[in-house]
C-alpha cells in the first residue's frame, strides 16, 4: 500500500475547485488519461481507509456512499481495492448507478462487489463509512436522501472518511448550508482547497492532522499554470523575508516605529501594540501620548520612548522625523475626525502605515477618504465588525476569502481580516489563510498585540504582505504555547519563544 502525504508536507499552495478543474484538464491534455487520475484518487482513498481500519483495530462492514458524479467514481474505485484487500465493502449509490457517465461509469463497471440500495438505516452497523457523494461539483445544499444519508452517517459510530471534501462543504469558501458529512479524515488530491482550511470546513475535515493530500499523477509544474495564488499561512510562505538580526544590526537599522497613543478607556491598547513591535525585533518605538495620558504611559513603559502631544500638530511634528519608517494608528485611539485626520496625514507622508481598531472605525461609511495617494504600504487589520463598517457590501460569511481579496484591491493595501480563520489579502490578488490560531485568542487586547507585531516586522523592512502573514502566524503560535486562560499581555512574553 502506498502512503498518502500529509498536508503539512505538501507545500502551502491551495487550489480552488475551479483551479483544480483546470489542473485536471491540463494534466489530461498533457497525456495523462482521466481514468488514471480517478484510479489514483480512489486508490489513495482505499489506502487511507485500510490504514485507518488497521490503526483503529476496527473490523466490520465498510459502506461507500457514491454520488452521481466523479466523486462517486472515486468511491467505486476505493471499494474495488478494499474488496481486493479482503475488506467487507459495499457501495451504496445515491440514485440510479446506471446514470453514471464517463470515468465514473467505467469505474462502476469495473466494480463487481455488492451494490446496495440507499437507506440511512443500513448505515447503523457500518464500521466505516466513506463519503463519495459530492466533492468539487457541489452546487446546492444537500437535501432529500443525500441529506438523510449524511445525517445518519454523522449519527453512526462508524469511522468516517471523506473523499476530496466532506459532502455539503464548499471547497472554495469552507461554508456549509444544511447538512454536511463530519469526517474523521479527508483525502484530497493534488493540493488542499481553501475550504479545507477555512472554518468551519477545517473542523469538518477531521482537523489539520487528518487532511491527506494524495499525489494522483498531476505534475507539480501544472500548479503555476492554474493561476492559484492562495496559500496556507506557514513559515514557508514568509520565512525567506523574515528580518533576522545580524552582526551589522543596530537599533536604527532595525527601524523606528511611531505609535499613536490611546485615550480612555483603552489606555493599555497602545502599550500592548508598542511592546509587541519591540518583541518582534523593531529597533525603536515612540509612543505619542496625548498630554492627559502622558504621565500614565510614561510611568507604565520602560522600553518604549514616550512623547507628549498636545494636539494633532504634536503628532505631525514627531512624524516629520525621517527615521520614522512606519506609523501605527488605532489601538485605543478613539473614533472620530481627529484620528481620521492623523491617519490621512500619515498616509500622505509616504510612511508605511498600519491602521487598526479605532483608526478603521473612524472611516466607517467613507472608505474613499482613505484612498489617498500613498506610495508606501498600508495594512488594515479589521475584525469582522470593523470590516462590515468599512466594506458593507462585502459579506465574509458568504465568502471570507473573496471578501478580503476584494477589500484589498479596493483600498490598494493589505487587508488582514481577523477571526477564527484570519485571511491576509494583498491588492495583487495573493491571499493567505491562517489555521494555527486557538479560540482562546478571543479576548480583549490580542488584536492590539497583532497590529504591533505587523508594524514591528514592517519597520525592519519586511514586505507588508509577508510581515502581516508572519505576524498572524507567530501570534497564533504564541497563543498555542500559552493555552486557555491566556490574556493579551501573556502573548508579549511568549513572542520570543516562537520567533524563527
442 in contact with ligand ADP (CB under 6 A): yes
Out of 16, 70, 167, 286, the only residue in the binding site for K ion (CB under 5 A) is 167
In the complex, what is the shortest distance from the CB of residue 465 to ligand ADP, in angstroms, rounded to a whole number? 17
Residue 404 within binding range of ligand ADP, rule CB under 6 A: no
DSSP sequence for 231-263: EE-SHHHHGGG-----TT--TTTT-EEEEEPP-
Give CA–CA dist 233/230, Å, rounded.
9
Annotated binding site for K(+): 71, 131, 167
Q: Binding to ligand ADP by residue 425, rule CB under 6 A?
A: no
Minimum CB separation from ligand NAX for residue 124, in Å?
A: 23
Give least dist CB 164 to K ion, A: 5
CA 47 – CA 440 distance, rounded (Å): 36
Give the integer Cα–Cα distance in Å for 4 and 1.
9
Q: Which does 189 bind (CB under 5 to 8 A by kind): ligand ADP, K ion, ligand NAX, none?
A: ligand NAX
Q: Is 129 in the site for K ion (CB under 5 A)?
A: no
Nearest-angstrom CA–CA distance, 454 and 460 = 10
Among ligand ADP, K ion, ligand NAX, none, the one that 445 touches (CB under a kind-dependent 5 to 8 A) is: ligand ADP
* Contacting ligand ADP within 329-388 (CB under 6 A): 357, 383
- Assess contact for 275 and 304: CB atoms under 8 A: yes
Nearer CB in complex with ligand NAX: 72/413: 72
Q: With CA atoms as reference, report the closest residue to 170 among 195, 206, 190, 137.
A: 195
The per-type count for the chain, helices as H runs and strands as E runs, is: 19, 18
Among 10, 163, 214, 276, binds K ion (CB under 5 A): 163
Among the listed ranges 26-34, 302-310, 340-348, 432-440, the one in contact with ligand ADP (CB under 6 A) is 432-440
Return the number of the residue (65 or 408) whose C-beta is nearest K ion: 65
Residues near ligand NAX, by CB under 6 A: 20-21, 24, 37-38, 41, 67-74, 134-142, 146, 163-164, 189, 216
Nearest to residue 130, comparing CAs of 77, 197, 196? 77
Residue 195, interface with ligand ADP (CB under 6 A)?
no
The C-alpha cell that represents 82 in the structure block: 478494499
Torsion from C-alpha of 460, 463, 467, 470, nearest 10 degrees: -110
Residue choice 446, 457, 458, 494 for contact with ligand ADP (CB under 6 A): 446
Q: Binding of ligand ADP at residue 389 (CB under 6 A)? A: no
Chosen from K ion, ligand ADP, ligand NAX, none, partner binding at 437 (C-beta under 5 to 8 Å by type): ligand ADP
Q: Cα torsion at 310, 316, 320, 326 (round to 10°)?
A: 110
Residue 439 binds ligand ADP (CB under 6 A)? yes
CA torsion sign for 129, 134, 140, 144 is: negative
The residue from 447, 456, 458, 478 that contacts ligand ADP (CB under 6 A) is: 447
Quick one: what does residue 446 bind among K ion, ligand ADP, ligand NAX, none, with the CB cut-off 5 to 8 Å set by partner type? ligand ADP
Complex with ligand NAX: residue 25 or 56, whichever CB lies closer: 25
Q: Report whether 73 contacts 42 (CB < 8 A).
A: yes
Burial (CB count within 10 angstroms: exposed 0-12, middle 13-18, buried 19+), residue 302: exposed
Which parts of this chain interact with ligand ADP (CB under 6 A)? 357, 383, 418-420, 422, 437-439, 441-442, 444-448, 450
Amino acid at each position: 500500500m502506498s502512503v498518502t502525504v500529509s498536508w503539512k508536507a505538501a507545500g502551502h499552495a491551495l487550489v480552488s475547485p475551479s483551479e483544480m478543474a483546470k489542473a485536471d484538464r491540463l494534466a489530461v491534455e498533457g497525456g495523462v488519461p482521466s481514468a488514471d487520475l480517478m484510479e489514483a484518487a480512489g486508490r489513495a482513498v482505499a489506502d487511507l481507509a485500510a490504514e485507518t481500519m488497521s490503526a483503529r483495530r476496527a473490523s466490520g462492514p465498510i459502506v461507500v456512499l457514491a454520488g452521481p458524479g466523479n466523486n462517486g467514481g472515486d468511491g467505486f474505485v476505493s471499494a474495488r481495492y478494499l474488496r481486493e484487500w479482503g475488506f467487507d465493502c459495499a457501495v451504496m449509490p445515491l440514485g440510479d448507478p446506471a446514470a453514471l457517465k464517463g470515468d465514473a461509469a467505467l469505474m462502476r463497471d469495473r466494480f463487481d462487489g455488492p451494490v446496495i440500495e440507499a437507506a440511512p438505516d443500513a448505515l447503523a452497523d457500518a464500521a466505516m463509512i466513506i463519503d463519495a457523494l459530492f466533492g468539487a461539483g457541489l452546487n446546492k445544499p444537500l437535501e432529500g436522501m443525500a441529506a438523510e444519508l449524511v445525517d445518519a452517517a454523522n449519527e453512526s459510530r462508524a469511522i468516517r472518511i471523506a473523499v476530496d471534501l466532506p459532502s455539503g462543504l464548499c471547497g472554495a469558501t469552507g461554508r456549509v448550508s444544511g447538512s454536511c458529512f463530519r469526517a474523521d479524515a479527508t483525502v484530497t488530491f493534488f493540493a488542499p482547497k481553501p475550504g479545507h482550511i477555512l472554518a468551519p470546513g477545517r473542523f469538518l475535515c477531521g482537523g489539520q492532522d487528518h487532511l491527506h493530500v494524495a499525489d494522483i499523477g498531476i505534475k507539480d509544474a501544472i500548479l503555476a499554470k492554474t493561476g492559484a495564488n492562495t496559500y496556507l499561512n506557514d513559515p514557508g510562505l514568509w520565512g525567506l523575508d523574515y528580518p533576522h538580526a545580524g552582526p551589522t544590526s543596530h537599533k536604527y537599522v532595525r527601524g523606528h516605529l511611531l505609535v499613536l497613543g490611546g485615550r480612555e478607556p483603552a489606555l493599555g491598547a497602545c502599550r500592548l501594540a508598542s511592546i509587541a513591535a519591540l518583541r518582534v525585533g523593531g529597533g525603536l518605538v515612540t509612543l505619542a501620548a496625548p498630554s492627559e495620558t502622558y504621565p500614565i504611559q510614561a510611568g507604565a513603559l520602560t522600553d518604549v520612548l514616550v512623547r507628549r502631544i498636545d494636539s494633532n500638530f504634536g503628532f505631525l511634528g514627531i512624524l516629520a522625523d525621517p527615521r520614522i519608517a512606519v506609523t501605527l494608528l488605532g489601538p485605543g485611539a478613539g473614533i472620530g475626525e481627529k484620528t481620521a485626520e492623523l491617519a490621512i496625514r500619515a498616509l500622505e507622508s509616504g510612511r508605511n502605515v498600519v491602521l487598526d481598531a479605532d483608526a478603521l472605525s473612524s472611516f466607517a461609511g467613507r472608505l474613499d477618504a482613505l484612498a489617498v495617494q500613498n506610495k508606501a504600504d498600508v495594512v488594515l487589520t479589521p475584525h469582522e465588525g470593523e470590516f462590515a463598517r468599512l466594506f458593507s457590501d462585502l459579506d465574509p460569511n458568504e465568502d471570507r476569502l473573496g471578501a478580503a481579496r476584494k477589500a484589498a484591491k479596493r483600498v490598494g493595501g493589505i487587508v488582514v481580516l481577523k477571526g477564527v480563520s484570519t485571511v491576509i489579502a494583498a491588492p495583487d490578488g495573493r491571499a493567505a489563510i491562517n489555521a494555527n490560531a486557538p479560540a482562546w485568542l478571543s479576548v480583549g487586547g490580542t488584536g492590539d498585540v497583532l497590529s504591533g507585531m505587523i508594524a514591528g516586522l514592517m519597520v525592519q523592512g519586511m514586505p507588508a504582505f509577508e510581515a502581516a502573514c508572519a505576524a498572524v502566524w507567530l501570534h497564533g503560535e504564541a497563543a498555542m504555547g500559552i493555552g486557555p486562560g491566556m490574556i493579551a499581555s501573556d502573548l508579549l512574553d511568549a513572542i520570543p519563544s516562537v520567533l524563527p
